[in-house]
Amino acid sequence: MTQNLPSYYQAAHFISEAAAGKAYTPLQILIYDKKNDCDLSAYRFKITSGWYVVILGKKPNEALRAQIEALLRKGTLVTLERRPDVLAYLQRRRERASQIAPWVELHYRHREEHDREDT
């Protein structure tokens, strides 16, 4: 079975949910503000090795791509080539969301994914 992988994505790894949020939240705002000029989705999630922020969709113009990369550099830029399952899952979510509306925002909270605050 051939997986329908995104034509464009950028990803970064972060040490915590809070650190990932410092990139994810401004990226969501940026994508929303540029929604007429781009076709992108933003995701923040935890895998066993830490938190990730991924932007995927149609390749944006160079100026927007540079803004996205600058925000992702708050973490460590990574590729997910060893995790095609993750990219395929995100692409399927993106495709389902696009059938609902042009802009869909969903947040899932899983107890085991939360960073624990020891304060």
What is the C-alpha separation between 6 and 33, in angstroms, rounded? Answer: 22
What is the C-alpha separation between 55 and 10, in angstroms, rounded? Answer: 5
Within-domain flag for 2: no
Within-domain flag for 119: no
Burial of 27 (0-12, 13-18, 19+ CB in 10 A): buried
Number of domains in the chain: 1
pLDDT tens-digit map of 9-41? 999 999 999 999 999 999 999 999 998 899 899
**Three-class secondary structure of residue 46 per DSSP:** strand
Q: Which domain holds residue 85?
A: 8-110
Token couple for 35: 């929604």
* 8-state DSSP, 73: T
Within-domain flag for 117: no
The overall pTM is greater than 0.75: yes
